[in-house]
Every structure is written in C-alpha cells, then in structure tokens.
C-alpha cells in the first residue's frame, strides 16, 4: 500500500545572520505550544550539538539534524514525513544567515515548501529592519516568507516604525522586547550544554513563553499553515536492513566531557543491529562489556584534570586499544586519545596515549566547516568545529575533503582498530563505512595481522 501524504503546520526560523536570537525564539515557541498540549517536533539545520540539546528540553521531544549535503535529500524528506505523522507543529531552526552555505537554510525550506519567518535583532534600527527583511523575502522566488520577528525591540514606538515600513505581503509576526532573562547561556563553542543548566533553562523557557505572549503582534502565537510532506519512494533506512553490526555492543562515552552525539548516529548504529551502551570516562572505573568504543566530541579541556586522574579508565581504554578492537575518536575524543592535553589555563595533563601526539587549546580562533572523510574504508560526510590544535601526530591515512575549497581538510589517523580525527562524522551518510570503522575493518595494521 502506498504511504499517504502527511500534513502538518510548519515554520522555518531563519535570520539575516548569526546571533539574532533564532534558538531563543525557537525554544520559546516550542515550549509555548507544548504547554498547550501540542506535540512539537523541532529540527536544527546543519551540524550542531548544543542547540538540539536546548530545543529538545524546550519541546520535550527528540531533536534531529536536517542537512541536504550531510544527510541527503531523501533522509531529510523521510525525517520530516515521519515527524508530520505524529506532530501538531514542526519547527525548523536555520543556521547562520538565510542564504549562507551551500545548501543554505533557504534551499532546505524551498525544497520542502516550509514557510520561513525572519528573526532579526532590530536594536539600533527601525525602518531599515523592514528594508532588510523585504530584501530577504524577495531575494528568491522559490522561498515563501511568512513574516518578520523583530527581536530586542525597544518600545511600542520602535515596533510601530518597523510595522508601518513593511509591505502588506510581509507582516510583523512578533515584537519581542529586550529581556536578558530569556537569553540562553553560552560557552566558547556555542550554547552551554543543556544537562549542565536544566533547572535554569526551565526558568528561562517559562519566562520566554510570557515574553512571547507580551507581543502586540500575535501572528507568531497562531499555528502556521499546514505543509504537505511526502513519503519517499525508498525508505532512507533501507541501507540499514543489512544488520552489519548485529550482535555487537558499542560503548559510547557520554558525560560532561563527551556529549557531542547526534541522536541520528545512535539510531543508525541501532538500525544496523548494534546494542548501544553508555559510560563515563570521568566517573566510571571500568568499561562496559563491548566490541567497540565511540569517543565523541565534547569539552575534555574543561575536565582534563579529572580525565587524567581517572587512571583506571585510562588503563581500561588502553587495554581495549591493545586488543585491536574498533575505536572511533572524534575531535574531543581524539584529544583524549593523545599523549597529553594542555587546557585553557595552559596546564598540561596526560591523556590516553593510544595516539601519538599532544593537544592544546588555542583561545577564540578555531576551525570549522563541512568535509567528507576520505579513508581506506570509503567516504563518509561530517564537519569540523574546534578551537584546539594537535602536534607530533602520526602520518594520517587520509584527509577530509572540504566542501568548497581545494586545500586538504582535517587529518584522519588509523592504527590498530583506532580511527581518530577532528571530524565529527554523520553516520547515516554512509552506514557501510560506519560499520567498518567500528568493526576495525580496513585498518592497515589489522589487514597485516589477518
């Protein structure tokens, strides 16, 4: 039987640039409608670990990534279709500016017919805000813009100047006053992890609901129009029907030091038959019984002392490595794998030492961007986002291929069963390569041994 079209109200929150308040407003909307008893499914565009944590707590629902380049068109379509079958409202938060990136937020919204609301910090301008919003709304014919959300609006007179300058085709959906009580806490790579500030976030979410309700422009407080979401002809999960990891247990590091984990990656591992268990390199003294390890990214630099002092865990992972089992170490996980790590206070701590080299933090300057990991097992997509550097590392087996630049991307290292890199991989982009990494297949040292 052919699957039917699913209809669901949907809104895509975008902006002319970063730091306009998209996440704060998306979280506020999610909590506002959740408080009304509605099921709100939120998606975040592009590679992001911190915003989804915040949005998941606000909506009380899982939050996943949508990115046509990283995940594929069918994957995004299938995720939206599945959400539309259970949700009363779908919200999508864009990344950077409306037309930034390739593909951009506008590309994604146009592809799936989701109307966009422009979030703009209007502090320091009035009629110019209307001009910028009108320019964005008319820049492309294939993008539908529902209206403008004027954030940090100083007064009713300020709002009136913007409202009167907008064309009838572009309504002012909300005028939100400056209110530091709803601003979300931040850290050097973005927002603070939700688990660290759960109670504070709850206070801010509820304050944000009142913040939304105080607007005199109430267009944002009504459900947006329904969008028709189509099923894909072939399920995006079909490539997982081969149980490549059946009978395998994968232990995933998850605590305050390691938390950059896509829900989609966990779902991908489980779809291939793996059992996923979690452990804490900070607190646990032993590894769970497992066939492979995943050391994801996070903030090891904030917990370097505690990681270093957990000798029992370091020895357990070293023994796991010596056994030749599969280990994936991404970004912060790679820093943990090195011989030592120098933290933000320039204090040096010994780490696992399963990968030769040293890691060190480097303040505010960092590296980021979409890349394809090119390794002996094949190609898999991901991204880099870090403010550290590594030195004296082994010869890499490959490098990331940048999305739009010919220079080599991040180095990728493989030895024994270990795969380590600054790249954060998106497993659904190539399940076959993902399985080989965790099985330790394709590593040169393993090939020689067998």
Q: Where are the domains of the chain?
A: 6-229, 240-449
Q: Determine which helix (DSSP H) or strand (DSSP E) holds 444, and give its type and residue range.
A: helix 444-449
Give the distance, in angstroms, between the CA of residue 116 and the centroid of all CA atoms in the same chain: 20
Q: Which two tokens stand for residue 176?
A: 């939100």
Angle of helix 198-213 relative to helix 22-35, nearest 10 degrees?
80
Catalytic residue, from 153, 331, 348, 367: name it.
Answer: 331
| Residue 444: half-sphere exposure toward Cβ, Cα within 13 Å | 9
The structure tokens 């949005």 sit at 55
Greatest mean pLDDT among 18-22, 232-236, 312-316 = 312-316
Q: Do domains 6-229 and 240-449 have the same CATH topology?
A: yes
What's the confidence (pLDDT) of residue 388?
Answer: 81
DSSP 8-state symbol, 192: P
327, β-bridge pairs: 293, 418
CA distance 100 to 119: 15
What's the confidence (pLDDT) of residue 296?
Answer: 97
What's the confidence (pLDDT) of residue 106?
Answer: 97
Q: 363: pLDDT confidence band, cut at 50, 70 and 90?
A: low
Q: What is the mean pLDDT of residues 396-407?
A: 86
| Statement: residue 353 has pLDDT above 90 | yes
Residue 331 catalytic? Answer: yes
pLDDT tens digit string along 417-447?
999 999 999 999 999 999 999 998 766 443 3
Does the domain at 240-449 match CATH 3.40.50.880? Answer given as yes
What's the confidence (pLDDT) of residue 191?
Answer: 45
Greatest mean pLDDT among 2-16, 106-120, 232-246, 399-413 = 106-120
Q: Which residues lie closer than 8 Å to 96 by C-beta, 6 or more apart? A: 17, 18, 46, 105
Could you tell me the CA-to-CA distances from 123 to 115, 126, 153, 306 in Å, in that order? 25, 8, 6, 43
pTM: 0.86
Could you tell me the CA-to-CA distances from 447 to 294, 318, 321, 437, 450 in Å, in that order? 21, 21, 16, 13, 5
What's the confidence (pLDDT) of residue 2?
Answer: 54
DSSP 8-state symbol, 277: E
| Statement: residue 289 has pLDDT above 80 | yes
Q: 236: pLDDT confidence band, cut at 50, 70 and 90?
A: very low
What's the confidence (pLDDT) of residue 449?
Answer: 33
- CATH classification (class only), 6-229: alpha beta
pLDDT tens digit string along 132-188?
999 999 999 999 999 999 999 989 999 999 999 999 999 999 998 876 666 765 544
Whether the CB-CB separation of 114 and 276 falls below 8 Å is answered with no
């Amino acid at each position: 039987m052919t699957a039917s079209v699913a209809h669901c109200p949907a809104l895509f929150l975008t902006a002319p640039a970063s730091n306009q308040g998209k996440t704060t407003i998306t979280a506020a909307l999610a909590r506002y409608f959740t408080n009304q008893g509605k099921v709100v499914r939120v998606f975040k565009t592009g590679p992001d670990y911190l915003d989804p944590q915040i949005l998941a707590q606000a909506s009380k629902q899982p939050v996943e990534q949508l990115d046509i380049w990283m995940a594929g068109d069918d994957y995004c379509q299938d995720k939206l279709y599945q959400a539309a079958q259970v949700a009363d409202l779908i919200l999508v938060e864009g990344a950077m500016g409306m037309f930034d990136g390739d593909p951009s937020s506008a590309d994604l919204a146009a592809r799936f017919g989701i109307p966009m609301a422009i979030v703009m910090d209007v502090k320091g301008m009035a009629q110019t805000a209307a001009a910028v919003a009108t320019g964005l709304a008319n820049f492309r014919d294939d993008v539908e813009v529902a209206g403008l959300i004027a954030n940090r609006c100083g007064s009713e007179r300020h709002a009136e100047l913007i409202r009167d300058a907008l064309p009838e085709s572009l309504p002012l959906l909300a005028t939100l006053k400056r209110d530091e009580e709803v601003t979300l806490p931040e850290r050097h790579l973005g927002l603070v992890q939700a688990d660290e500030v759960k109670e504070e976030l709850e206070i801010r979410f509820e304050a944000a609901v009142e913040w939304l309700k105080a607007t005199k422009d109430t267009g944002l407080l009504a459900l947006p129009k329904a969008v028709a979401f189509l099923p894909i002809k072939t399920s995006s999960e079909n490539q997982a029907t081969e149980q490549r990891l059946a009978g395998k247990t994968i232990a995933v590091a998850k605590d305050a030091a390691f938390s950059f984990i896509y829900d989609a990656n966990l779902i991908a591992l489980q779809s291939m038959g793996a059992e996923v268990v979690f452990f804490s390199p900070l607190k646990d003294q032993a590894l769970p019984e497992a066939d492979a390890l995943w050391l994801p990214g996070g903030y090891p630099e904030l917990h370097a002392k505690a990681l270093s002092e957990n000798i029992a865990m370091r020895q357990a992972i070293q023994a796991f490595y010596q056994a030749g089992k599969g280990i994936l170490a991404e970004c912060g996980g790679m820093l943990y794998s090195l011989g030592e790590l120098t933290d933000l206070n320039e204090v040096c701590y010994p780490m696992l030492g399963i990968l030769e080299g040293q890691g060190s933090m480097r303040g505010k300057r960092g590296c980021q961007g979409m890349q394809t990991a090119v390794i002996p097992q094949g190609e898999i997509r991901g991204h880099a986002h870090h403010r550290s550097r590594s030195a004296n590392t082994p010869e890499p087996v490959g490098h990331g291929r940048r999305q739009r630049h010919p220079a080599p991307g991040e180095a990728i290292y493989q030895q024994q069963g270990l795969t380590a890199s600054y790249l954060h991989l998106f497993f659904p982009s190539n399940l076959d390569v993902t399985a080989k990494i965790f099985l330790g297949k394709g590593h040169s040292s393993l090939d020689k041994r067998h």
